[in-house]
Structure 1
Amino acid sequence: MMRPQSRPARSLASGTIITIALQIYRQAGNRYFLISLIAHAWFFLIGLGLVVGGLIFGVVGAVFIAGNQGNFGIVLGLLILLLGLGLPLFGFGLARFTASGGLLSRLIFNALQDSTEDEAEVRRFIYPRLWSYLWTVLGTGLILLFIYLAWAAFGYLLYLGFWPLINSLDWGNMSEAWRTALILIILLLLLGVILAAMVTVSYVAARLSLVDAVLAIEPELTAMEAIQRSWRLTQGQAWHTLTVFFIASILVIPANLAASLINAVMVIPVAGFFAAVLLLPVWQGIKAVMYYDLRVRNEGLSFRLQATIPSPMRFMRRVILQTPESIELDFALAGIGSRALAWVVDQVILYVGLLILAIIVGYLYFYGIYPFLLEQFPNGDQSYNLWALGIYLLINYFIYNGYYIYFESAWQGQTPGKRLAEIRVVQDNGKPIGVREAALRSFLQAIDIPFFGIGVFLVALTPSEKRLGDMVAGTLVIQDEQATRNAPTGQTISLVARELAPLIQNLPGLGGLQPDHYLLVRNFLLNRQQLKPAGRFETSQRLHHSLQELLFVQEDIPSELAQASAEEFIEAVYLAYRQQQHS
């Protein structure tokens, strides 16, 4: 029998995934930190295995270099020591560390679903399968290594093919313009190959990034099946996954930078170890939320009527604003992930624009303005360059800040990056911001961003998620409640469903269909095109069965309804409920 459920969760934006993972971490930080600390303790075994292996290989190498190849017994003993001690220590430590990461992912996934599964029960699922985690890590590593080697071989073949051709060119008799153009073409080709290699490796790494989380959340899988499952889950979503991990990597830069600075003045590098322990639950939490989001996107995980599946958006911080007219406005705060995504997009737009400007201005100055000034005033060589540089930097400063001031004031608190991330800036009373607030926020970026990322810490740690610019300007960054990403444009109802709807409307069981049930059915019909075929079929069968249990408690199912397909039946129920409510 179905139970009412809240509005099903839509797929999550890239930045929102990071924010939700951080919020779950905050709620049970001590527990996750302790698991991470114990996980990193196993690194000592990994390190010990590497030390033993390194010493053995060093001694074996010294024996052979010294010409004592006859000491076969010594070499054999050292190899046995390596196989008997070094490799097992390394393998067990790595397996235990990876399994502990999987434990974190499963606990955070349970928190997403409000599962009551005990931590001890989770440990009983995970730790007896340590070698599965080891084979998963080794398998993923071998796949990435193969790709690295393939690109290295491709680069070497290019070198063998093009280097003789380059050497055969008569560079001495070539004009400066042609020489510059050829050098530029070669550099661009080299850069293109490097970028292609980086994109390929990053793409595959993103597709395989969830293997440990998958193995922990779906414990019936083998290591190879977990790799295949991660690959299938991320199909069509590789760039979404890659964006999430790229933004998260940027966000942890301040913490890693602070740890590096502390390590530089300390004898024992504890700060780096502490930072690694602190950040492991963040990465595993992101994997858990990403796994949940991909299940929603591809398999309709949120369309389950048998049990309540709460929305992960409940973890977002909310704020209630009181307007001058005594009206309360309830907003979800943007979160550090969405704000970082918006900032990265805006920075890319800005610096691409500034780079184009630099090329144009540089060309005009060095080939037009500068020769003219030298011709007219030959004694002012150095001063012209200094003045030109100063004016150019001033123009950059105004363009950089003007970008934020213009868009945030003209687009009701949004820049192109914020629009993509589905967030906007408002005043503390909920009103749109103006030029004053936008200017204060923009100018104070010079303090929020460069100074050890103080703005990142303030947004992540303060309840109102305000950086210095927000505090001074009196602004908040909130989720854009009017965003239309992934919003359905309508649904197509089959002719069969239209004919069956009156029959369902006369059923006594239709009265047991609650508004929440109707919303769930409607959302499935609106979003079913986004699901993968297998997920769509499974979800429709599940909804079909649940609706039959609700509508036909005592009476038999009429033959016309029994012969309808699952989606036709769901469409008919949707129409019948609507018609009943309208009448």
Structure 2
Amino acid sequence: MSENFGSPGHIQPLSIGNVVSAAVRLYRSHLKTYLNLAAIAHLWVIVPIYGWAKYAAISGLISRLAFGELVYQPESIQSANNHINPRLWSFFRVAFQVGISLLIVYFGLAIVGGIFAALLGVVLRGVLGGSGVIVVTTLAIIVTVGIVLLGLTWFYSRWIVAEVPLAVEENINGGESVARSWELTKASVFRIQGVVLVAFLVTLPIVFVFNYIPSLFLLRLEPGTAIYSLVYFISWIGSLIGGVFVMPFWQALKAVLYFDLRSRREGLGLQLRQPPL
């Protein structure tokens, strides 16, 4: 398998904080370009199937552009698109495969967590008796949620860069790109979970303002009314705007993670171009 990019270097593998910091620098340095691409991608979401494939491909395009900056080989959007566009449906396959896999994992973990919580409840009821119902119920909920969250983030961490090899490397298809992510991440899962947590906290204010706050107003309104429809539309627009701001950051983060994982496993070095003054 041959790659478009890659250069030897002497930079040590990045810490959790450095991965997120590098992603933030990329995001800030190319904010206008990334936001324009993200806006186009989110408009494509409205179109079923083909539009979703375009969204997935543009996500990969942002990661490719970010990766080019990391190895100090920047590309124009047109040049990068020459690599991305022929793989449109491969990007759709990656997104579909990872999405379905995570959905299956979620239901599986929910079942396992529920069974474990039920067994724990039986044991604790035998110890605490009827007076411990609240304690047992609370612990059961915590255990179930904990199993689901930890398990889901573990699997997500294995597939987090699933589309990046497809965006960057030659002679690779969608299935191989997903497998490549699984291979690259196998020794770094807990560190990646830390990266995901920190990145989530970084983007939380944007998500809260554009996604959560508008949704809170809907709880006070009666469905089917004109005001409910108006607020729902505003909430939908807000979620799109929030997605436009958040998506490029995550794609830049994936590019940094992908390169860092390759530097750990394949000896690639990292060069991050300084933003212009």
TM-score (norm 2): 0.79
Q: Which residue of 2 aligns with 1:34?
A: 36
Matched, 1:139 2:97: yes
Structure 2 residue 239 is the aligned partner of structure 1 residue 281: no
Cα deviation, 1:217-239, whole Å, max 9, x if unaligned, reads 12421111111100111111111
Once the two structures are superposed, what CA deviation does each residue of 1:7-53 show, in whole Å capped at 9, x if it has no partner? 711111112212211212222221111111111110111xxxxxxxx
2:70 to 112, 127, 130: 112
- Report the 3-state secondary structure (helix = DSSP H, G, I; strand = E; otherwise coil) of the residue aligned with 1:214: helix
| Cα distance in 1 between the residues matched to 2:209 and 2:118 | 44
Contact residue 206 and residue 238 of structure 1 kept, 8 A:
yes
Residue 273 of structure 1: how far off its partner (Å)? 2.2
What is aligned with 1:258?
Answer: 209
**Relative contact order: is structure 1 or structure 2 higher (C-alpha 8 Å, sep ≥ 6)?**
2
Shift of 1:159: 8.1
Say yes or no: does 1:311 pair with 2:271: yes
Instruction: Measure, in 2, the Cα distance between the counterparts of 1:301 and 1:245.
Output: 22
The one of 182, 186, 191 aligned to 1:231: 182
Q: CA deviation at 1:197?
A: 2.4
Are positions 1:221 and 2:172 aligned together? yes
Q: 1:159 to 1:249 in 2, by over 3 A?
A: closer
In the alignment, what sits opposite 1:333? none
Partner of 1:299: 266
Q: Is the 8 A contact 1:126 1:219 kept in 2?
A: no
Q: CA offset at residue 282 of structure 1?
A: 0.6
CA offset digits 1:460-504 (Å, max 9, x no partner) = xxx9xxxxxxxxxxxxxxxxxxxxxxxxxxxxxxxxxxxxxxxxx
Q: Which has the larger radius of gyration?
A: 1
Q: Does 1:20 align with 2:19?
A: no
Q: CA deviation at 1:185?
A: 4.8
Deviations 1:488-543 (A, max 9, x none): xxxxxxxxxxxxxxxxxxxxxxxxxxxxxxxxxxxxxxxxxxxxxxxxxxxxxxxx
* Cα deviation code 1:348-387 (max 9, x no counterpart): xxxxxxxxxxxxxxxxxxxxxxxxxxxxxxxxxxxxxxxx
Structure 2 gaps, min length 5: 1-6, 218-229
For 2:114 and 2:27, the matched residues in 1 are separated by 46
Query: Counterparts of 2:199 and 2:119 in 1: how far apart (Å)?
Result: 40
1:14-413 to structure 2, matched below 5 A, reads: 14-45=16-47, 90-154=48-112, 178-181=129-132, 184-185=135-136, 187-260=138-211, 261=213, 268-269=234-235, 270-302=237-269, 311-312=271-272, 315=274
Output the aligned Cα RMSD: 3.2
* Structure 2 counterpart of 1:279, one-letter code: V
SS of the residue 1:211 aligns to: coil
Structure 1 alignment gaps of length 5 or more: 46-89, 303-309, 318-462, 464-583
C-alpha distance in 1 between matches for 2:115 and 2:242: 42
Summarize deviations over 1:105-134 as a string: whole Å, max 9, x none. 000100111114432221111112111111
Report the alpha carbon displacement of residue 203 of structure 1 after superposing the two structures with TM.
0.1
Which residue identity does 1:301 align to in structure 2?
Answer: L
Deviations 1:75-102, CA, capped at 9 Å, x for gaps: xxxxxxxxxxxxxxx2211111011000
Aligned partners of 2:67 and 2:139: how far apart in 1?
44
- In structure 1, what residue type is equivalent to 2:255? A
| Separation in structure 1 between the aligned mates of residue 8 and residue 184 of structure 2, nearest angstrom | 25
1:570 maps to none
What amino acid is aligned across from residue 107 of structure 1 in structure 2? L
Q: Is the 8 A contact 1:18 1:248 kept in 2?
A: yes
Note if contact 1:24-1:315 (Cα within 8 Å) is conserved in structure 2.
no
Structure 1 consecutive aligned stretches of length 4 or more whose deviation exceeds 4 Å: 155-163, 260-267, 314-317
1:447 alignment counterpart:
none
Greater per-residue helix proportion: 2
Distance 1:271 1:181, change over 3 A: closer
Quick one: structure 1 residues 6 and 201, their matched pair in 2 at CA, closer, same or farther if it must change by over 3 Å?
closer
